Structure 1
Amino acid sequence: MKRAIMRNVQNVIFLLFTFGSGVFYFCFYLSSIVLGLALSFTVVGIPLLTNVLRTTQTFVQYERIQTKIYTDISIEPLTTSQRVKGNQWMQAKAELMNRKNWISVYWLMQKFVLGCICLVIGVLIYIGPVLFAFGPLLYPYLELYFFGIAVDSGLKALQMMSVGFILMIGCSKLGNGLVQVIGGYTRLMFKAIRG
Structure 2
Amino acid sequence: MNQMIRKHVRNFCFLLITFATGLFYFCFYLVGITFGVAMSFTLVGIPILYYVLRSTETFLQHERIRTKVYTDISVRTLPTRSQEEGSLWEKVKAEFLNEHNWRAIIGLMLQLGIGMLSLICATLFYLAPIILLFAPILYFIDISSISLFGIENKTLNTSLLFMLLGAVFLWIGAYLGNGLVKMIGRYTRRLVKDFARR
Scaled by the length of structure 2, the TM-score of the pair is: 0.92
Contact 2:135/2:153 (<8 A) preserved? no
CA distance in 1, matches of 2:48, 2:155: 64
Q: Does 1:4 align with 2:4?
A: yes
Q: Secondary structure at the match of 1:37?
A: helix
Task: After superposition, give the CA deviation of every residue in 1:87-131 in whole Å (9 maximum; x if it has no partner).
Answer: 322322222222222111111111111101110111011101111
Match of 1:82 in 2: 82
Q: Secondary structure at the match of 1:139?
A: helix
Q: How many pairs align? A: 195
- What RMSD over aligned residues (CA atoms) do the two structures have, in Å? 1.5
Quick check: 37-46 or 152-161, which moved more?
A: 152-161
CA distance in 2, matches of 1:67, 1:27: 21
Q: Does 1:47 align with 2:39?
A: no
CA distance in 2, matches of 1:171, 1:103: 32
CA distance in 2, matches of 1:110, 1:151: 39
Structure 1: segments with no counterpart, 5+ residues: none
Show the 5 A alignment for 1:146-165. Answer: 146-165=148-167
Deviation at 1:150, TM superposition (A): 3.6
Show the 5 A alignment for 1:58-137. Answer: 58-137=58-137
Which 4+ stretches in 1 moved above 3 angstroms?
none
Scaled by the length of structure 1, the TM-score of the pair is: 0.93
Q: Which of 182, 185, 191 is equivalent to 1:183?
A: 185
CA change 1:146–1:117 in 2 (3 A) is closer
Q: Secondary structure at the match of 1:85?
A: coil
Quick check: 115-124 or 84-93, which moved more?
A: 84-93
Structure 2: segments with no counterpart, 5+ residues: none
